[in-house]
Amino acid sequence: MNNAIPNNPNYDKPADSFFGFYFFVHKDRIFTTKCNLKVGEITTALLNLKIEDMEKIFDLTVSFAGFADNGMAIKNEQTMTDFVNFILEIESIAVTLPPYCYTDIDLVKERQRAEKMKNLDFYSRLYDVASEEYAEYMKYKKLFSGYGIGLYIMSCCISEVSDVYFSHVRKRDEDSYTAAWWAFNEYSTLSQYLRAIVPYYEKADINSTMDVNIGVSGMINPDDKSKLIMTETCEFHNAHSVIQYDFFKAIQSGNAPFRCHNCGRFFLSTDSYKTFYCNEKSPENPNRTCRQIGAKNKHKEKAENNPIVQTYNKARNKYYQQKFRGNISDEEYDKILHYLETMRDMAIRGKCDENGNLITYKTLEQLFDKDTLYITLNIGGVNDKE
* DSSP at 230: E
The residues near 38 (Cβ < 8 Å, ≥ 6 apart) are 28, 29, 30, 250, 255, 268, 270
- pLDDT of amino acid 180: 94
Phi, psi for residue 13 in degrees, rounded to 5: -80, 130
Crossing angle of helices 307-324 and 330-348, rounded to 10°: 180
Q: Are 285 and 279 in contact (CB under 8 A)?
A: no
- pLDDT of amino acid 382: 46
Higher per-residue confidence, 1 vs 204: 204
Binned at pLDDT 50, 70 and 90, residue 35 comes out as confident
CA distance 143 to 16: 15
Alpha-carbon separation of residue 219 from 21, 287, 304 (angstroms): 17, 39, 55
Tens digits of residue pLDDT in 37-95: 999 999 999 999 999 999 999 999 999 999 999 999 899 999 999 999 999 999 999 99
- pLDDT of amino acid 5: 37
- pLDDT of amino acid 3: 40
Indicate if the alpha-carbon torsion angle 308, 310, 314, 320 is positive or negative: positive
Which residue in 49, 1, 19 sits closest to 241, CA to CA?
Answer: 19
The angle subtended at Cα 357 by Cα 352 and Cα 361, nearest 5°, is 75
Give Rg (Cα) of the chain. 31
CA distance 259 to 165: 12
Which residue in 60, 63, 117, 124 sits closest to 92, CA to CA?
Answer: 60
What pTM, to 2 d.p., does this model score? 0.76
Q: Is the pLDDT of residue 11 over 70?
A: no
Indicate if the alpha-carbon torsion angle 299, 301, 302, 305 is positive or negative: positive
Which residue in 233, 322, 288 sits closest to 12, CA to CA?
Answer: 233
Q: From the centroid of its chain, how far is CA 4?
A: 21
Tens digits of residue pLDDT in 114-168: 999 999 999 999 999 999 999 999 999 999 999 999 999 999 999 999 999 998 8
Tens digits of residue pLDDT in 205-240: 987 678 999 998 888 888 888 998 999 999 999 999
* DSSP at 358: B
Average pLDDT, the chain: 88
CA distance 110 to 87: 10
**Type of residue found at 58:** F
Task: Give mean pLDDT, residues 172-183.
Answer: 93
CA distance 298 to 277: 11
Task: Write out the H or E segment, with its range, that includes residue 213.
Answer: strand 212-221
Task: Give mean pLDDT, residues 272-276.
Answer: 77
CA distance 74 to 80: 9
- pLDDT of amino acid 60: 98
Alpha-carbon separation of residue 365 from 94, 340, 360 (angstroms): 64, 11, 9
